[in-house]
Amino acid sequence: MTQRQILQVFEQYQKARTQFVQTVADLAARPQNTETLQNAGVMSLLRPLLLDAVPTIQQTAALALGRLANYNDDLAEAVVKGDILPQLVYSLAEQNTQRFYKKAAAFVLRAVAKHSPELAQAVVDCGALDALVISLEEFDPGVKEAAAWAISYIARHNAQLSQAVVDAGVVPLLVLCIQEPEIALKRVAASALSDIAKHSPELAQTVVDTGAIAHLAQMILNPDAKLKRQVFSALSQIAKHSIDVAEMVVEAEIFPATLVCLKDPDEYVQKNVATLIREITKHTPELSQIIVNVGGVAAVIDYLGDSKGNVRLPGIMMLGYVATHSENLAMAVIVSKGVPQLAICLEEEQEDHIKAATAWAFGQIGRHTPEHAKAVAVANVFPKLLNLYLDTESSEDLQAKAKKALKSILQKCTYLPALEPLLYEAPSNILKHVICQFSKVLPHDSKARRLFVTSGGLKKVQEIKAEPGSAIQEYINAINNCYPEEIVRYYSPGYSETLLERIDNYQPV
C-alpha cells in the first residue's frame, strides 16, 4: 500500500468520525430521537471521541453528549455512569484545550447538573468546580459564560451545593463577570449570583461581601430585558434574607429608578421588580416607609392594574406586607386606592393561591381600626371573602385565609350597611363576629337602631338560634336591650301566632 493510499484511509477514517459525531449531534437536537440513540449505545461510542486528536470531533462529541444529557435525567445519569465527566473536567482544566471544546464540555456539565441535586453532586464530586473556576478566569467570554451557566445550575438546587460553589472561590469571579462588556456573560453571571444567594442568609452575605450589590445596582436601567430580569432576581434573592442586607440593597440608591421598571415591556422584569420590592417591605416598618416615600405603593397598584395572573402575585403580597406593619402604612395603601384594585384582583383571578394572597392582603389592611375596616367593607369585599370561604371548590389554604381575613376585619368593622347582608348569609362561626359588632354600635347610635329595625335586621337577629349562655346569645341580648321590650317581642318568631291567639281569646265588651 502506497503512502498516498495510507493517507486516504486515514482521511476516510477522519471523515467518517466527523460525519458520525455531526449526525449524532444533529439527531440529539430533536427530543424524539434521544431514546433511540440511547438504546443504540451512542454514549459509549461518543466517549472515546472526546479524546480524539481532531478538535472539531472532540467538540462535536461533547455537544452531542450535552444535548442528550439535557433531555432528561435518565440520559444525564447515563453520562455519569459512563464515566464521561472526569474526561470533560480534565479537558476543561487543560490550558491548551480549544475554547470551543471548553464551551461544549461546560455545556455537558450544566446539562447533567440541571436535573437534580444528586446529579449536580456527581458533577461536583468529579472535581468540576475547580475546572469551572479555571474557565471563569479564561480570556474568552464565551468560555466564561458556559462555565458560569454550569455553576448556576449546580448552585440552584440547595444550600449544600451552593456552599460548595462558594468554597471553590467562584463568587468574586462572577462579580468580575458582571462587569465585563458582553451582555450574555453579564446575564449568566447575575443569574448564578441569584442562585447562590437564594438559599440562606450566610450565602447571601457571601455575595454581598464581594461588593455585588453595587455592581448589580448599576445595571437596573440597562436596555437589555433579559439582563434586567437576572439583576432584579439577584437583588431580591439577596434582600429577602435579613433586615441588614435589605437595607444595603436600598442604600445602593436603586429607588426610585427601579419603579420605572414596573412598566417594563417584559413581564418577567416587572415581576422580578415587584418581588424585590416585596422582599424589602416585608422586613420592617422603616423599610416599608422608604418604599412608600418614593411612590412605591402607588407604582405597585398601577402595576396590578396592568398585569394578570402570577405576575400580579408579588405586588399583591407587597401591599399586604406594607399594611401589616402599622396603621399609617395600611392607610397609605388605602389612600393610594389599593383596596379597589385588590378587589378587582380577587374578582378576576382564577388561581386559588393568588386569591388566597389577596384575601390575606385584605386582612392585613382592614385589621387595624374601624376606618381601615370600612375602607375594605365599602369595596364590597365581605361577600367575596365569604363566598371563597364557603366554596367547597376552594383550596384549604384559600378557605383558611378568607376566613381569617373576614374575622380580623369584622372585629374592627363598625360600618353597619356592609355587615347587615352577612346576617343572612354567614355561618355561625362568622355570624358571631357580625352580631358582636352590632352589639357594640347600636347602643350608641339611635339612627342605626332605627335602620336596623326597618331593614329587617332586628327580626333576623331574633330568628338566630343560639345556645343559652353562649357568646352569640350575649351579643343578641345586648342588641335586644337597645329596644323596648314590645318591639323585640313583635319581631320574635311566633309573635304573630300569639297575637292571633289573643284575638281568638278576646271577648269584646
Inter-axis angle of helices 141-155 and 117-125, nearest 10: 130
Residues whose CB is less than 8 angstroms from the CB of residue 190 and which lie 6 or more positions away in sequence, other chains included: 178, 216, 219, 227, 230, 231, 233, 234
Residue 44: all three cell numbers together: 459509549
Task: Give pLDDT, residue 29.
Answer: 77
Q: What is the mean pLDDT of residues 445-470?
A: 82
pLDDT of residue 6: 66
| CA distance linking residue 318 with residue 348, whole number of Å | 19
User: Which one is predicted more confidently, 26 or 9?
Assistant: 26
pLDDT at 65 over 60: yes
Q: For residues 222 and 425, which has the higher predicted lDDT (pLDDT)? A: 222
Q: What is the reported pLDDT for 282?
A: 93
- Contact between 387 and 428 under an 8 Å Cβ cutoff? The reply is no
Residue 1: pLDDT above 70?
no
The answer, yes or no, to whether residue 256 has pLDDT greater than 80, is yes
Cell matching residue 194: 441569584
Cα–Cα dist 377/396, whole Å: 24
pLDDT at res. 97: 64
Handedness of CA 332, 333, 339, 344 (dihedral sign): positive
- Per-residue confidence (pLDDT) for residue 497, from 0 to 100: 58
Per-residue pLDDT for 496 more than 80? no
Q: What is the pLDDT of residues 144-172, one digit of tens each?
A: 999 999 999 999 999 999 999 999 999 99
Question: Predicted confidence band at 7 (pLDDT cuts at 50, 70, 90)?
Answer: low
Cα 485 to chain centroid distance, Å, stands at 57
DSSP one-letter code for 493: T
Distances, alpha carbon 73 to alpha carbons 64, 164, 279, in Å: 16, 22, 33
Span 185-242, pLDDT tens digits: 999 999 999 999 999 999 999 999 999 999 999 999 899 999 999 999 999 999 999 9
pLDDT at 284 over 70: yes
* Segment 22-42, tens digit of pLDDT: 777 777 778 777 777 777 777
- In the predicted model, is pLDDT for residue 95 greater than 70? no
Q: Which of 262-271, 309-318, 492-501 has the least mean pLDDT? A: 492-501
